[in-house]
Amino acid sequence: MVKVIWKGVLMKALGNGLKKITWFGTVSALVLGFSLAQSPLWAADSIFSEKVSKGKFSIGGRAMYYDPIGGGDSWYGGAQARWYLNEVFALEGSMDYRKNGFGSTTAKTFPLQLSGLAYLLPGKRVSPFLIGGGGWYYTDVNGPNNFNDAQQRFGLHAGGGLQVMLNNHWSVDGSYRWVWLERIHSRDSNGNSVSLHDEGHMVTVGLNYHF
């Protein structure tokens, strides 16, 4: 009987506590939202609200970092081109080069990606975006005992980034995406077949010219 009473008291106290926490959290969120709305960051003359057109097309070079879960990371480079369908959506085509080591195997990869972008602050000078798409990966694999094989792989990617319009013709951007990839096939020093994990983290930093 005593246990039942204490259990009821405890549950009631816990329920009241959760109600207070929920109420406090709701009020805090409203206050924070109102404060941000009044913040200079969102004022009419702030960099975040200033409108700058991206034009219809852009092309640029980029640095690319890739860190596969089964191999060594590296910084290399490539190029990207974007077609702006409107202020919200764009298409991106890109090509990079990277070289990664997987123990005694070295893989030289040429990723060719096609991506869709959705801008979260359409038409603004500074705008975060979501990115996702697919790619074709031509890979030259070199392993022990003169093993060499050219492999064509496919994969998907998804992530996000930030683009800053410096003026009407130049912009800089950075992006992160996770890449899902088919495995690399090689051989070990004993001649046995091995599958290497090449999916991983991809980061890009680009400079673009807009038309």
**pLDDT of 45 over the 70 cut:** no
Query: Looking at residues 123-150, what average pLDDT do you find?
Result: 97
* pLDDT of the residue at 49: 76
Q: Do the Cβ atoms of 129 and 162 come closer than 8 Å?
A: yes
pTM over 0.85: no
Tens of pLDDT, residue by residue over 10-40, are: 344 444 443 443 344 444 444 444 444 444 5
Query: Looking at residues 73-94, what average pLDDT do you find?
Result: 97
**pLDDT of 124 over the 90 cut:** yes
Q: Which CATH class is domain 57-210?
A: mainly beta
Query: How many whole angstroms separate alpha carbon 183 and alpha carbon 48?
Result: 42
Q: How confident is the model at residue 149 (pLDDT cuts 50, 70, 90)?
A: very high
Average pLDDT, the chain: 85
Query: Looking at residues 97-118, what average pLDDT do you find?
Result: 97
**Backbone phi, psi, residue 81, to 5°:** -135, 140
* pLDDT of the residue at 25: 43
Give the single-character DSSP code of 192. Answer: -
Query: How many whole angstroms separate alpha carbon 76 and alpha carbon 64?
Result: 5
Domain ranges of the chain: 2-38, 57-210
